[in-house]
Structure 1
Amino acid sequence: MSVPTPVRGELTAMLAAVGLDPALGEAALSRSFEDLGLDSLARVELASRVLGGFGLDIEDDITPSATPEDVEQLIQSRLSATV
């Protein structure tokens, strides 16, 4: 299990809003979007929420094989780069 980051809570809420079942818990964050059943529409919705919440355009980076942890790391990396 990974160590929670400052964006974890907000990202988890965004994931729930686009269809990820919160009952899956932390273990779901290491599974691919494809394995989690989140289709391309859900990924675009997530990218839109990330843009609105963090000001980051990551739509091209959220592929079927990416994981929520990958997205979390990407957000952290890009936020760090803007400081």
Structure 2
Amino acid sequence: MTSVTDTQFSDSDLATLLLAVGAEPPVGPGVFEDSFRDLDLDSLARTEIAARVVERWGVDVEERLTPETTPAQLRSMVEGEVAGR
């Protein structure tokens, strides 16, 4: 298991996270600006994303994730919180 002290949120981390919650491959930087809605990730997928982010980075983003949120915005949320520690 990865420690909640991780500070890096790489493209690979983001792609792995999206695939784990049901995004259709291929997943890479080209889709990081697409909304969760455009990626067909529903509220259950967003809840799973939030749970995995808390486990990995110790950042609670659940209330901030909407259908319009993009993976790039998610990464910015996490990096901002981690940098502020």
**TM-score for both structures, normalised by structure 1:** 0.85
Identity of aligned residues (%): 36
The residue matched to 2:38 in structure 1 has which SS? coil
Quick check: 2:53–2:60 contact (8 Å CA) kept in 1?
yes
Q: Structure 1 stretch 57-66 or stretch 11-20: which is displaced more?
A: 11-20
The structure in which a higher percent of residues are helix is: 1
Report the equivalent of 2:61: 58
CA offsets, 1:25-67, max 9 Å, x none?
3211100000110000000000000000001110011110000
For 2:80 and 2:40, the matched residues in 1 are separated by 26
Q: Normalization by structure 2: what TM-score? A: 0.84
Describe the SS at the equivalent of 1:22: coil
Structure 2: which amino acid aligns with 1:50?
V
Cα distance in 1, alignment partners of residues 49 and 74 from structure 2: 10
**Structure 1 regions of 5+ residues with no counterpart?**
1-5
Root mean square deviation of aligned Cα: 1.1
Aligned residues: 77
